[in-house]
Amino acid sequence: MKREAQDAYADPSDYPRLLDEALVVHQRTPASVNDSLLVFVHGLGGSRYGPGATWGRFPAFLYDDLPQVDIGMYQYRTAAGRLGGGKSIELEDEARVFADLIRDQLKNYKRIVLIGHSMGGLLCKAAIHRLVETAEHDALNRIAGLVLMATPQLGSLRVPRLLSALSFDARALQPHGRLVLKINNTFENHIALDERVSTLRRTTIPTWAVEAVHDRWVDSLSAGIGLTSSRIKVVRGSHTSIVKPADRDSDVYPWVKERIEIALNRYKYDVFVAAAMAGHNGDAEYTENRNTVLAMIEVLKQRCGFDSVFYAGMNMATMEDFDPEELALRKDMAALRESRYFILFYPKKIVSSVIYEAGWALILGKPSIYIVGDDQDLPFLMQEASQAFVERRVRIFECANQAGLLERLTAYGTELFDASAA
C-alpha cells in the first residue's frame, strides 16, 4: 500500500510504476488523521489512473466535498492486464488479498466504504465473504458501507460459458457460477444490508446499488438482487458512463454522496456507557460513581479516540435531576441503538437497569466491555459472557478502583474494542 499526500486529488506523478501496489491512499497535507476511508475498485479491464481511468472525476469530487475522508484507489489485473503472466490471479484469490489488506493495513480506519464498479463490486463482495469465512469480525465491523455500481451480482449473461474454462474473468462472471453463489449465500445468511438493522446474528453493512438502463452487460435482476427498490438508483447511461459523472449535478453523484454520508454517520455515538443511576444510597454515592464515569469518559475521548460518548448522567449532577422512568427508558434505548460500542460500569452489586441495557446491547450485536469490581457481582450467566462468543464480543475488566480503571483504559488506547488486543 502506498500513501499519497495531496491538497487536491490528482493522479500520482509516478502512477505507471504503481501497477503492483494494490492500494494507493490519497490523504490531505499535512498527512490527515481522518478515520474514514472510501475505496474505489474498478471493473473488468478498468484502471484507477490515467486518461482512460474508470472513475473519471468521481474521486476528485468526493475528495473536495468530503474533507473528513481519505480516498483509496484499488488496482488489480483484469482483461489485457492479465497478460502479465504470474502476476495475474483469480478473483477469489484477489479477494483474499483485499480482505487481508482491510484487516491489516487499513486497521487505523474506523469506517471504510467500498465502491465497486462492475466486477469490482463482485471483488468487494468477495472480500467481505472472505472476512465472514475467516471470522474477522473486527475488520467486518469497520466496513461502514458498500456501493455497487453496475455490478453483476449473479454473474453476466453476456459472458459466453465456453470462455469460463479459458479466462479467470469469465469464470468469475459466469452466471450463477460457483463464486457468485458462494458470495450471495454469505450475504443472505450473515450480512444485513439496511443501516437501520442491528442484530447479533448478522453484521450490518449498509448496501446500495446503481443500475444503468442502457447497460448491455448487467441485467436489472443481477444489478439489484437482494436489495429493496429504495436502495437502488436507476439512471440513464451505459455500463461505463455512470461511473464518470460530468459534474456534481449528474443523476449519480449526489445520490452516491448521500449514501456515503449515511454509511459514515450511521452511529450517533461511538460508545454507550451504562452506569447505575437510581439504585444508589443517596446523592453522595451517586456523585462518587458519576465522577468516576466522567473521568472514564475523558480517557475514552483523549486516549482511546472516541469523539462521542453517551452517558445518561452526563448532565444530572444529583438524583433529583433524573428523568421520569418511561422517558429515561425511551432515551436510553434510542441512544443504545445509535451507538457503535457498549460499556457497562458495574463497580459493585446493585439493583439497576444497566443489566437490562447490557442484555439489549448483546441482542443488538454491540461489542461490549463490562467493567466490574468483582465479576462474581454480575448475574451468573453474565460472568461467562466473555466465553460465550467465538469473536469475543464481550470482555470483562476487573478494576478495584478508579486509578486502576483509567490506567487500563489508557493502556488499551485506540485498540480498546479490538478483540485481538485482549
Mapped to the 3 state alphabet, what secondary structure does 285-309 carry?
HHHHHHHHHHHHHHHHHHCCCCCCE
Mean pLDDT of 331-342: 93
**What nine digits make up the cell of 36?**
474514514
The answer to whether 43 and 10 are in contact (CB under 8 A) is: no
The answer to whether 259 and 145 are in contact (CB under 8 A) is yes
Mean pLDDT over the full length of the chain: 88
Residue 83: Cβ within 10 Å count: 9
Q: Contact, 336 vs 311, CB < 8 A?
A: no
C-beta separation of 39 from 27 below 8 A: no
Q: How far apart are CA 304 and CA 301, in angstroms?
A: 6
Burial (0-12, 13-18, 19+ Cβ within 10 Å), 155? buried
In the structure grid, which three cell numbers stand for residue 272, read together? 454507550
Percent of the chain at pLDDT exceeding 90: 61
- Which run of H or of E encompasses 125? helix 119-133
Residue 201: the pLDDT is 82
Burial bucket for residue 162 (CB in 10 Å: 0-12, 13-18, 19+): exposed
Residue corresponding to grid cell 484487516: 103
The pLDDT value given to residue 85 = 46
**For the segment 69-123, what is each residue's pLDDT rounded down to a tens digit?**
999 999 997 744 444 444 545 888 999 999 999 999 999 898 999 999 999 999 9
Burial (Cβ within 10 Å: 0-12, 13-18, ≥19) of residue 94: buried
Strand-strand pairing, 69-74 and 111-117: unpaired
Are the C-beta atoms of residues 50 and 10 closer than 8 Å to each other? no
pLDDT of 174 reads: 65
Contact 186, 132 (CB under 8 A): yes
- List CB contacts of 194: < 8 A, sequence separation 6 or more: 204, 206, 231
C-alpha grid cell, residue 94: 484477489
Contact 113, 145 (CB under 8 A): yes
pLDDT(147) > 50:
yes
- Backbone φ and ψ of 408, nearest 5°: -70, -45
Q: How much is the pLDDT for 169?
A: 56
User: Nearest-CA neighbor of 118 among 228, 191, 250, 215?
Assistant: 215
CA 39: distance to chain centroid?
12
Q: Which residue has the cell 422517558?
A: 327
What is the band of 175 on the pLDDT scale with cuts at 50, 70, 90?
Answer: low
User: φ, ψ for residue 39 (rounded to 5)?
Assistant: -115, 120
Mean pLDDT (whole number) for 264-286: 88
- pLDDT of the residue at 391: 61
Instruction: Identify the band that residue 30 occupies on the pLDDT scale cut at 50, 70 and 90.
Output: confident
Is the per-residue pLDDT at 157 higher than 80? no
Q: Which of 13-17, 182-186, 280-284, 355-359 has the lowest mean pLDDT?
A: 280-284
Residue 348: CB atoms within 10 Å:
11
Going across the sheet that includes 69-74, the strands are: 2-5, 23-27, 69-74, 36-41, 111-117, 143-149, 207-212, 232-235
Polymer length in residues for the chain: 422
Single out the residue of 264, 189, 194 nearest to residue 227, CA to CA.
194
In this predicted structure, what is the pLDDT of residue 419? 65
- Residues in Cβ contact with 173 at an 8 Å cutoff, skipping those fewer than 6 apart: 44, 119, 122, 152, 155, 156, 159
Q: Decide: 43 and 25 in contact? Cβ < 8 Å.
A: no
Asked if 4 and 25 count as a contact pair (C-beta separation under 8 A), the reply is yes
- 257 contact partners, CB below 8 Å, separation of at least 6: 61, 62, 65, 66
Q: Which of 332, 364, 239, 343 is nearest to 296 (CA)?
A: 343
